[in-house]
Structure 1
Amino acid sequence: MSVTNERIFLSPPHLGEEERKLLLDAFASNWIAPLGEHVDAFEQEIAERVGARGAVALSSGTAGLHLALRLLGAGPTDTVFCSTLTFVASVNPVLYVGATPVLIDSEPQTWNMSPAALERALQEAAAQNRLPKAVIVVHLYGQSAGMEPINRLCARYEVPVIEDAAEALGATYRGKACGTWGRFGVYSFNGNKIITTSGGGMLVSDDLAALEKARSWAAQAREPVPYYQHSELGYNYRLSNLLAAVGRGQLRVLAERVAARRAIFQRYQAALAKLPGISPMPESADGVSTRWLSVFTIDEAVCGCNAEAVITALALANIEARRVWKPMHQQPLYRECRYYPHDDTLSVSDRLFAQGICLPSGSSLTEAQQTRVIAAVAECLGLKQEGGSHALL
């Protein structure tokens, strides 16, 4: 394979020397179990970075959502309201605790949970005397949901909020970190995230007593006695000292990684704005997005091409691109769940799934690679201009 046609991935890991040094330090200590100095330090550093009182390092963001729901007492007789436009891991923990998801549409302004749809859902639930045990709000593709109206609605009905900030570490809403607006916040360090530990997550909260309970459950709920005793159900959810060391190194370059992804988005936006029918995911005036992925919509009626065709064309050019998340209410697993669209005439998430495309966005993406992506998109749309695809740049 020639260098000019080497694979361009959607969001590959981006590691440096700092992570290597800390990992070797953990390795040299021979302390590789799911506890240790790096785990403690990683928890403290994340909490300080986002402005939370405490944090618990876990094996995944999904584990964090599961523990948050259990801390709130969600069970088989309960409902939990969830963003529908998300990855399935945002909703699966609701089934882990035996509760029933109720799915809430996006709003056009942020692509995140629609306060209008949430209000209707809460009003109906209150009238039926069946308010949800929690509301799980997803910060999609690194952009904050409208947390002030969402929190105001949930406070009115005394429903706690869990933030799925898996894609939004480093994002803010009105100057405050995503993941710190609700009762609990959850981050992911999966291999494709802004910073990675290869696999891992973090549960954050100002409720230190709840975090201690979560820490116990995550370590198989072993009791502090000189033998193995367990009175509660626990899980194998703790993060290893080795992976925490990697996370600490990654956290030190978080601002650089976010800046790189935002610059990549801005270059896409400047170039693709010249193509008919392509629109970027908007950025809310209330916050700063990480632009974890650079996401656009393609209006087939305007440009004569749909998102799937562009993804296929990019694949032929050895470039990875993907559709936006398929909404949960369209998933076979969840299609029987109650769904509240944005309003009576518009399901925003359905339109975004039909039109949305995620372009390569990794913080290590070079300008030359990005030029390849832009040229491939332009070629797919049949753009022929003097100077070729470089006329877009």
Structure 2
Amino acid sequence: MTKNKIWLSSPHMGENEQKYIKEAFDHNWVAPLGPNVNGLEADLEGFLGEEKKIAAVSTGTAALHLALILLGVKAGDEVICQSLTFSASANPIVYQGATPVFVDSEPDTWNICPGALEDAIKERTALGMKPKAVIAVHLYGMPYKVEEIHAVAGKYDIPVIEDAAEALGSHYKGQNCGTFAPMAILSFNGNKIITTSGGGALVCPDEDLKKKAVFLATQARDQAPHYQHSHIGYNYRMSNICAGIGRGQMEVLEERVAQRRGMHAFYTEIFSGVKEITLLRAPGTDYFCNHWLTAILTESFEQREALRLALDEDNIESRPVWKPMHLQPVFKDVPYYGGRVAEDIFDRGLCLPSGSNLTDTDRERIRSAITKFLSI
């Protein structure tokens, strides 16, 4: 008999999502916008603090696209992006007709390397192509080296866009990820810490910029009694139904973070004393990681694949870490700066089932499969 699938990270519904959705149906708020959208934005603003303003949109990718537009990125420009990330961090650069410039990771957090970042800025500027922005990612919920990255970018007067798609609930020195840069993005895709089914948010520094983002996200319709457009707009606003799911999810966010961190502790115990396997861990007490996904480094590509296939044999999903963007066929001709840190992490890195809804029975199956593999 086939065992039930244990997924890498599946949606985890609470008890109150239905309440907000029912209210939307009861009041016929099924069109885009409505009280749930306003409520979710307020909930997120209250959670993040730092007087940030939120524009709820259809995806995290849409939020990043809007951030680039608002920073004035245009065709022919260059934008620096962390290479070890999901493609959604880089694709919006191309939407604008700009060119991504990829930068290697550092081994402590697996995020964008400050030294390689400065090398990239110096060389691109010397070539007459000073980057218009830097996209820095909190990979798997691990905060990047905030002070070093922002110091480098600030030195050359280049704005940072904070890709916190995987990092809601993570913080650095007590400050929430998503609040360090002029603009940041969040994702509520089905596999994230909390979900709106599909959705995201742009984190803005003030109400004026939020209004500009919302204007662009609602087809950039001018103030007129007829349909008039003086700018190109986008259909990027979050629906009231999806926002209702998000409102219920926000009520259990801290619980979900604790459950994900509990899965990381579970794997830490399993791999204690296994010298050839290490976990992605916070490099110090300043870093608080939500451990959206628990990721490990094996001894070799062969060991990584052997473990992945052993888990798959027991119908347990695991997945190699993101393939670096500079290795992707679609980006084969764009500039890259750094060494082989990201490539090595990709070769040896594996993401393990990390969902907040995994049961004790699931965990015992995972433990058994890993223990069996390690004893071979």
Q: Is 1:125 aligned with 2:124? A: yes
Aligned to 1:204: 203
Indicate the percent of aligned positions where both proteins have the same amino acid: 48
d(CA) in 1 for partners of 2:209 and 2:118?
Answer: 28
Aligned to 1:365: 358
CA deviation after TM superposition for structure 1 residue 124, in Å: 1.7
Q: Is 1:349 aligned with 2:348? A: no
Give yes or no for contact 2:14–2:252 (8 Å, CA) kept in 1: no
Give yes or no for contact 1:297–1:357 (8 Å, CA) kept in 2: yes
Unaligned runs of 5+ in 1: 384-393
* 3-state SS of 2:363 partner: helix
Opposite residue 277 of structure 2, the aligned amino acid is I
User: Segments of 4+ in structure 1 off by > 4 A?
Assistant: none
Q: Is 1:11 aligned with 2:9? A: yes
Tell which deviates more after alignment, 307-316 or 195-204.
307-316
Aligned to 1:306: 303
Give yes or no for contact 1:262–1:290 (8 Å, CA) kept in 2: yes
Aligned to 1:288: 288
Tell which deviates more after alignment, 313-322 or 205-214.
205-214
CA deviation after TM superposition for structure 1 residue 129, in Å: 3.5
CA deviation after TM superposition for structure 1 residue 275, in Å: 2.9
Q: Quote the RMSD (CA, aligned, Å).
A: 1.3
d(CA) in 2 for partners of 1:367 and 1:116?
Answer: 43
Aligned to 2:52: 53
Match of 1:320 among 296, 305, 317: 317
CA deviation after TM superposition for structure 1 residue 16, in Å: 1.3
Aligned to 2:271: 272
* 3-state SS of 2:36 partner: helix
CA deviation after TM superposition for structure 1 residue 224, in Å: 1.9
Opposite residue 316 of structure 1, the aligned amino acid is E
Opposite residue 287 of structure 2, the aligned amino acid is G
Q: TM-score, normalised by structure 2?
A: 0.97
Aligned to 1:64: 63
Q: Is 1:332 aligned with 2:329? A: yes
Opposite residue 294 of structure 1, the aligned amino acid is T
Unaligned runs of 5+ in 2: none
Aligned to 1:186: 185
CA deviation after TM superposition for structure 1 residue 319, in Å: 0.5
Q: TM-score, normalised by structure 1?
A: 0.93
Aligned to 1:152: 151
Q: Deviations over 1:222-278 (max 9, x none)?
A: 112111111110111010001101101101111100000001101111111233411
CA deviation after TM superposition for structure 1 residue 44, in Å: 1.4
CA deviation after TM superposition for structure 1 residue 208, in Å: 2.3
* 3-state SS of 2:189 partner: coil
Pairing 1:26-45 to 2, within 5 Å after superposition? 26-45=24-43
CA deviation after TM superposition for structure 1 residue 185, in Å: 0.6
d(CA) in 2 for partners of 1:112 and 1:208?
Answer: 30
d(CA) in 2 for partners of 1:293 and 1:367?
Answer: 18
* 3-state SS of 2:330 partner: coil
Aligned to 1:218: 217
* 3-state SS of 1:17 partner: coil
* 3-state SS of 2:102 partner: strand
d(CA) in 2 for partners of 1:339 and 1:208?
Answer: 36
d(CA) in 2 for partners of 1:335 and 1:181?
Answer: 31
d(CA) in 2 for partners of 1:264 and 1:72?
Answer: 38
Q: Is 1:87 aligned with 2:86? A: yes
Q: Is 1:381 aligned with 2:374? A: yes
CA deviation after TM superposition for structure 1 residue 23, in Å: 1.3
